[in-house]
């Protein structure tokens, strides 16, 4: 937390520095200051010089975004809290290797700028080598060097489901671009991003102002999310210029996109990069200043997040890996369910959360998957279809453990405490229960935190406010039998009660393309509220309705592609929760 507070101070100092620059510009160059952008949209820059020093503009772009969008600061605070919790609680960050689909937008005016497919593929190869630590120039100088377990692939399907090679070429009339995101906008000489929930968008173009590239940190607008790179610093073959001819500019910028900061923390020895195993430094290093010391330690000039030349860089650390993995478990979690690298997931897997192939429902029906039973999937955390317990029993799901002879706990209730940092979890006693197993996890996490208790209440601590959590209770009864899992969910900072079947919500179609409907049936003629929550726990929509039976239609235009939780709640605190996939 101290590091995070120092970071806020650092950002405020940087904003003051930027304000000073603007005042200087007002004094020296008044003719240039028309419009509201820091860089006027119609300024053209010269062809790129043969650059000799790295210049990344990611922090400058962040400063401007924080000025333009005051709400972004709070989003970044929430992401940082999630990251701190993830790094603290996931000490073993080994997991299945994550593959991120990439689309490369080549925005060109000249033939030289229209780089070859081979140059683009060489950059993908570099990313895979650097993030998996298979790069041939790795050394053993730093013991904390680590395989990030992240890979990249050029997309094989576009947002419309059509085959693609992952390369999108767009001709422009602009000679060059600055750090104002104009290359990301079709109405300003660039090209709009593909769905940023499914793809890492990389724009390759001619940059002016001595820029090699920049990236957008998590928490920014989806309309500009991605990485930008100078075309002569992209890849390691073709039209590339030394000393930035080995693809490390893109490695550096993708590190930012995955929430890594510059290794010196963009400040002096009192600033940090939020990573414990990288030495403190007081400034960027250029060239290959091996052995350089600052802040009473040797600088890690070989780290991809310094400003060293391409040939000097060769590692990410274990701490940086944990931070990037947190990013992919939190703000960029939607990429884990993207099918953009495997032909769009044309065949059903019965576990991918998508209605595909000849499935008649989500992960059920058709020639491959088990029959749909009123929406039962045996993995949705809800007792539906003819299940005799949550995700167990009935004609489709595996038998409930212990044969279902032990009654399920009922009336699960969560009460927020300490501003959302804690929650009191309670449930009604189950007959014959000697103890209870209780499990809890943040939505999107791969593992449960499970404890056993003889009480009918527990206190959950170290929660992230406004994050979405799911939890369940299982009765452990005499004779070694156990009940099914009774499940519920809540948003840290609010209270909720689940009484299955009272509201009877259904969401269709699922996945949704243009419209989806939330249909409900309450036992009492009372008001209900419908909440739509994304995978990071952010409330995206809140709608009120009344009536004993009714429905509400929603348009997907205001939502990005990805997975959402649809929660409905009546005035008595009864709730129901469903998962919705938006795939436009």
Q: Give the residue numbers marked as catalytic.
A: 253
For the beta carbon of residue 258, count every other beta carbon within 10 angstroms.
26
Mind giving me the DSSP string for 466-478?
A: T-EEEEEEEEEEG
- From residue 569, give the alpha-carbon distance in Å to each of 512, 530, 550: 22, 7, 14
Residue 116 to residue 122: CA distance in whole angstroms: 10
> For residues 343 and 253, what is the distance between their CA atoms, to the nearest angstrom?
27
Give the C-alpha separation, 77 to 393, whole Å. 43
Nearest to 566, CA basis, from 581, 552, 577, 556: 577
Helix 58-68, helix 2-28: angle, nearest 10: 90
Q: What are phi and psi of 93, to 5 degrees?
A: -90, 10
Q: Which long-range contacts (CB under 8 A, 24 or more apart) does 381-387 make?
A: 381/470, 381/472, 381/485, 381/487, 382/487, 382/500, 382/577, 382/578, 383/484, 383/500, 387/484
Name the phi and psi angles at 575, rounded to 5.
-135, 165
The radius of gyration of the chain's CA atoms, rounded to the nearest angstrom, is: 26
- The Cα-based distances of 415 to 65, 421, 424, 489, 496 in angstroms read 36, 11, 5, 11, 7
Rounded (5°) CA angle 42-45-47: 145
Strand duo 539-545 + 528-534: pairing: antiparallel
Q: Tokens in use for 217?
A: 């940190």
Instruction: Give the start-end residues of each E strand in 193-311.
Output: 200-205, 213-215, 227-230, 293-294, 297-298
Instruction: Give the whole-angstrom CA distance, residue 285 versus residue 486.
Output: 56
Looking only at the bridges linking them, the beta strands covering 506-508 and 468-477 are unpaired
Report the candidate in 217, 216, 253, 218 with the shortest Cα–Cα distance to residue 234: 253
Q: How many whole angstroms separate alpha carbon 460 and alpha carbon 421?
A: 9
Q: How far apart are CA 450 and CA 189, in angstroms?
A: 53
Contact yes or no for 466/491 (Cβ under 8 A): yes
User: What contacts 24+ positions apart, CB below 8 Å, involve 540-547?
Assistant: 540/564, 545/520, 547/522
């Amino acid at each position: 937390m101290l590091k995070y507070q120092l970071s806020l101070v650092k950002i405020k100092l940087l904003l003051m520095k930027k304000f000073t620059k603007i005042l200087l510009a007002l004094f020296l160059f008044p003719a240039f200051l028309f419009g509201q952008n820091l860089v006027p949209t119609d300024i053209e820059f010269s062809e790129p010089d043969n650059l000799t020093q790295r210049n990344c503009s990611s922090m400058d772009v962040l400063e401007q975004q924080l000025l333009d969008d005051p709400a972004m600061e709070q989003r970044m605070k929430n992401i940082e809290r999630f990251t701190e919790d993830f790094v603290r609680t996931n000490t073993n960050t080994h997991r299945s290797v994550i593959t991120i689909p990439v689309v490369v937008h080549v925005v060109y005016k000249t033939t030289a700028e229209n780089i070859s497919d081979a140059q683009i593929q060489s950059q993908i190869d570099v990313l895979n080598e650097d993030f998996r630590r298979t790069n041939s120039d790795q050394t053993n100088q730093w013991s904390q060097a680590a395989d990030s377990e992240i890979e990249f692939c050029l997309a094989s399907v576009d947002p419309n489901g059509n085959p693609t090679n992952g390369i999108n070429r767009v001709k422009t009339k602009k000679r060059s671009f600055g750090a104002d995101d104009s290359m990301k906008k079709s109405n300003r000489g660039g090209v709009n991003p593909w769905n940023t929930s499914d793809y890492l968008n990389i724009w390759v173009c001619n940059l002016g102002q001595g820029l090699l590239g920049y990236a957008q940190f998590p928490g920014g607008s989806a309309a500009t999310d991605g990485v930008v790179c100078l075309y002569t610093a992209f890849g390691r073959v073709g039209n590339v210029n030394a000393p930035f001819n080995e693809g490390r500019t893109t490695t550096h910028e993708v590190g930012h996109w995955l929430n890594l900061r510059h290794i010196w923390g963009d400040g002096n020895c009192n600033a940090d990069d939020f990573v414990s195993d990288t030495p403190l430094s007081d400034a960027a290093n250029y060239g290959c200043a091996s052995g350089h010391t600052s802040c009473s330690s040797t600088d890690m000039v070989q780290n991809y997040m310094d400003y060293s030349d391409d040939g000097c860089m060769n590692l990410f650390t274990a701490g940086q890996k944990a931070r990037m993995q947190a990013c992919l478990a939190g703000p960029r979690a939607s990429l884990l369910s993207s099918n953009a690298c495997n032909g769009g997931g044309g065949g059903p897997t019965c576990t991918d959360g998508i209605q595909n192939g000849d499935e008649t429902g989500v992960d059920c029906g058709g020639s491959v998957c088990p029959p749909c039973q009123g929406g039962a999937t045996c993995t949705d955390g809800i007792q539906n279809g003819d299940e005799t317990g949550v995700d167990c029993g009935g004609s489709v799901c595996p038998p409930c453990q212990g044969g279902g002879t032990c009654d399920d706990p009922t009336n699960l209730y969560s009460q927020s405490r300490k501003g959302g940092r804690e929650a009191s979890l309670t449930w009604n006693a189950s007959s014959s229960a000697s103890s209870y197993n209780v499990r809890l996890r943040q939505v999107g996490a791969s593992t449960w935190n499970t404890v056993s208790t003889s009480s009918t209440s527990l206190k959950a601590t170290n929660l992230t406010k406004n994050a979405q959590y799911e939890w369940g209770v299982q009765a452990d009864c005499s004779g070694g039998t156990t009940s099914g899992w009774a499940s519920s969910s809540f948003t840290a900072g609010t209270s909720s009660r689940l009484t299955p079947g009272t509201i009877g919500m259904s969401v269709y179609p699922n996945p949704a393309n243009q419209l989806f409907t939330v249909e409900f049936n309450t036992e009492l003629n009372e008001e209900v509220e419908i909440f739509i929550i994304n995978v990071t726990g952010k409330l995206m929509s809140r709608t009120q309705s009344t009536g004993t039976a009714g429905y509400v239609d929603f348009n997907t235009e205001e939502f990005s592609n990805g997975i959402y939780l649809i929660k409905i709640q009546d005035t008595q605190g009864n709730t129901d929760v469903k998962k919705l996939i938006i795939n436009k």
